[in-house]
Amino acid sequence: MITISKDKSKLQIAVIHQYLTESYWGKGRSIEAVQKTIDHCLCYGVYLEGKQIGFARIATDYTVFAYLMDVFILPKFQGKGYSKQLMQTLINDAELETCTVWMLKTSDAHGLYEQFGFTDLKNPTKVMERLL
């Protein structure tokens, strides 16, 4: 049985950093950058027998907007429903209950996120981005 916690003191930064630098979206991210993202976001650690096996973070104003990032379950623990439990926990977090706009970017996990109400942009011409 897994536990999911928002206690940042439990996060195992080395585990998070290693996974992110091997992911398609986090290549090249330094451990200092990972720590900075954790410091400035709402974070969820996923644990099995005290060891971190997953993670997610949300950049949010806790009122209107929540942007979901860096969601993962370590490969050897995938396929057991843990990502669904993580998603259920974060979308039902009382701290975020007034957030009416949730966003994320993904290249390969559409099926997971669709189960929790995420869709393609309804009005893509209203969304802009600045990439550097």
pLDDT digits (tens, 9 = 90+) for 76-103: 999 999 999 999 999 999 999 999 999 9
Query: Strands of 101-104's sheet, edge to edge?
Result: 2-5, 42-48, 51-60, 65-73, 101-104
Q: Model confidence over 103-131: pLDDT tens digits? A: 999 999 999 999 999 999 999 999 999 98
**How open is the CA angle 128-59-79, to the nearest 5 degrees?**
100
pTM here is 0.94
Sign of the four-CA dihedral 112, 44, 41, 18: negative
Domain 2-117 annotated CATH 3.40.630.30: yes
For the chain, give every domain's residue range: 2-117
Residues 33-50 have pLDDT tens digits of 999 999 999 999 999 999
One-letter amino acid for residue 87 of the chain: M
Given this model, what pLDDT does residue 125 score?
93
